């Protein structure tokens, strides 16, 4: 299956953003280089790999485009050269920013691929959310924590779902692929950054104390 | 692959029962709606998804029967309307009951599908246990706990294995599919409920203190 | 796909070694027979199953060679007869030894299978590491611990990567398959045992305290 140039650009950006969020989390746990690479790798490729396995797409996107592997490897190996400076300049926002861009980029890539595979709208939206969220969920499971996206009560998966829905609606209205994709990414990433900036909170779904 | 009416009925019942057990567990952790839906979704579809991936069946059963997705979504969204009343009436038994029915229904569905795929008896029984147990194991991993089925020492997986074995033996003896399935479900669910009611315990397999 | 006699011997040895390491870990947690079998099963088959799913090989190696299942089952059931004596004689070295052999055997089997599937060198090496490490990672996740291989700071995955690289280089130089495989296994298992004996340590990749 030939990926369009747009899809490749989306996947490269999302891969770098998520690998960096995994890198930051793993260094926080003081892991060695193997641990840091593994967590960065799972954060970057976990969501897309699960999507490809569920849809039975082979070769997997990171095997088909081996450059992704070298990219993440280079990111991890070169991190001592730039991570501290970047963190110093950007502070706590670094990870939130990388994560929000990964969220939007992966959600749109997942939904686009699922639509191309002929999935119905609900499944295509779910595949977008799975692509965007499973990498971070796997990262947290490997770090022995309850996934942040389930207990954070800050909109995260909902932002991905909103972006995927915008993409589907614009696609159904006949808007071009590039514009629909950009609008979807902007919706997901923008609403996520807004949620962080305004510290928006979702209520617990059901209280069980009574 | 066309599912028989019996298999569909089994899968719908098992899906609802396991989604409800995930729903109860997630609300206990005070998750937001995304977390509750995700845990309910993984509890309901985790076992069958792993079975389908291991056997290379596509589309996955919840993609082929998109209605299952809407069913779980409706269950989660409508939960505030009925969950409290149901819990009040049934108390701690609610989750045990839902879980025991999910156990029996999923075990028989997994073994039936594996047999239809030409698997040998031992693999067919294992696929039944995987279908029945992996959803709950994933739920516990996502909730950052050691899976209850491994440390509980109360018969659970053994009940699933017993039900699957009854199905296989009756099938080998030439008994009809409906009767064999019902007997298998009754064996698995019944022995599980009995284990809970009598508080049966398995010994630790090996002590390592000496 | 027909496995060569060499590959079968490698897989049998690796399966037994990893199942035993899972068995020892699960008994340490005082699990019942179902828990012990499940953890031994996941330790032994987790890495190869993920490799087969990622490469889309079916039937899975433990379904194709059902004897592996009976082997692990026999190991778990017979453990009370020999485990205590073996532990008494070998002490803490028992698990390290079994683990180091499993590491080398599975790494070489994973890389060999990936090469046979036409994967490029970097992917073939990664598949060797995945085959060798994912079983142990899954075991630790099921036991609710951060995977030892990520935080241990003792060379483990690096030993697998070294063994796979030796195999690839010797293969590229035209050395025969048997000799290359043995050299690869010796490199991985030997360097792992040396790391344990000398208590070698890797530094944390990046400190984030400043």
**C90 inside domain:** yes
pLDDT tens, residue by residue, C128-160? 999 999 998 998 888 888 888 887 788 999 999
Angstrom distance (rounded) from CA A84 to CA A74: 16
Left, alpha or beta for B181 (phi > 0: left; psi -120 to 50: alpha)? alpha
Cis check for the bond before B175: say yes or no (omega within 30 of 0).
no
**B204 inside domain:** no
Taking an 8 Å cut-off on Cβ atoms, the answer to whether A206 and B29 are in contact is: no
Taking an 8 Å cut-off on Cβ atoms, the answer to whether C66 and B122 are in contact is: yes
Rounded to 5°, angle at Cα C157 from C152 and C159:
110
Band (C1; pLDDT cuts 50, 70, 90): very low
Helix, strand, coil in percent for chain A, rounding step 5: 80, 0, 20
Mutating which of C208, C209, C210 best tests the A interface, going by the most A Cβ atoms within 10 A? C208
From chain C residues 52-81, the ones with a CB under 8 A of any chain B CB are 53, 56, 58, 60, 63, 66, 69-70, 76, 79-80
Query: ipTM value of the model?
Result: 0.87
Within a 10 A sphere around the Cβ of B141, how many other Cβ atoms? 18
Q: How many domains does chain B have?
A: 1
**C89 inside domain:** yes
Of all residues in chain A, what percent carry a pLDDT higher than 70? Answer: 92
Band (B91; pLDDT cuts 50, 70, 90): low
Task: Read off the pLDDT of each residue in A147-161 and give the average, rounded to a whole number.
Answer: 87
**A204 inside domain:** no
Task: Read off the pLDDT of each residue in C120-125 and give the average, rounded to a whole number.
Answer: 95
Taking an 8 Å cut-off on Cβ atoms, the answer to whether B63 and A123 are in contact is: yes
**A68 inside domain:** yes
Q: How far apart are the first and last CA of chain C?
A: 53
Band (A3; pLDDT cuts 50, 70, 90): very low
Angstrom distance (rounded) from CA C52 to CA C17: 20
B47: which strand partners?
none
* Domain region containing C154: 5-198
In the predicted structure, residue B93 carries a pLDDT above the cut 80: no
In the predicted structure, residue B106 carries a pLDDT above the cut 80: yes
Angstrom distance (rounded) from CA C88 to CA C91: 5
Left, alpha or beta for A164 (phi > 0: left; psi -120 to 50: alpha)? alpha
Q: Which two tokens mark C90?
A: 């070998």
Map tokens 């190996």 to a residue: A77
Angstrom distance (rounded) from CA C133 to CA C112: 16
Task: List chain A residues with CB under 8 Å of C210.
Answer: 84
DSSP 8-state assignment for residue C65: T
Cα C140 to its chain centre, rounded Å, is 14
Rg (CA), chain A: 17
**B117 inside domain:** yes
**A109 inside domain:** yes
B32: which strand partners?
A204
pLDDT at residue A210, rounded to an integer: 37
**B75 inside domain:** yes
Say if residues C184 and C164 touch (Cβ distance below 8 Å).
yes
pLDDT tens, residue by residue, C93-118? 766 777 788 899 999 999 999 999 99
Q: Which two tokens mark C80?
A: 């009370």
How much is the pTM? Answer: 0.91
Q: Helix or strand or coil: residue A204?
A: strand
């Amino acid at each position: 299956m030939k990926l369009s140039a747009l899809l490749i650009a989306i996947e490269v950006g999302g891969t770098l953003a998520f690998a960096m969020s995994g890198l930051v989390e793993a260094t926080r746990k003081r892991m060695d280089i193997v641990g840091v690479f593994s967590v960065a790798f799972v954060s970057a490729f976990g969501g897309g790999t699960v999507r490809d396995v569920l849809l039975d797409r082979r070769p997997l996107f990171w095997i088909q485009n081996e450059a992704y592997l070298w990219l993440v490897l280079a990111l991890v190996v070169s991190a001592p050269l730039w991570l501290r400076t970047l963190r110093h300049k950007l502070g706590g926002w670094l990870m939130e920013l990388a994560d929000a861009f990964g969220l939007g980029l992966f959600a749109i890539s997942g939904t686009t691929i699922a639509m191309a595979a002929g999935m119905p709208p609900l499944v295509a939206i779910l595949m977008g959310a799975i692509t965007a969220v499973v990498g971070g969920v796997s990262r947290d499971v490997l770090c022995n924590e309850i996934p942040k996206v389930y207990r954070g009560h800050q909109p995260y998966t909902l932002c991905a779902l909103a972006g995927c829905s915008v993409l589907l609606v614009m696609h159904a209205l006949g808007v071009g692929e590039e514009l629909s994709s950009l609008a979807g990414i902007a919706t997901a990433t923008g609403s996520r950054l807004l949620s962080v900036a305004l510290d928006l909170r979702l209520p617990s779904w059901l209280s069980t104390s009574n």
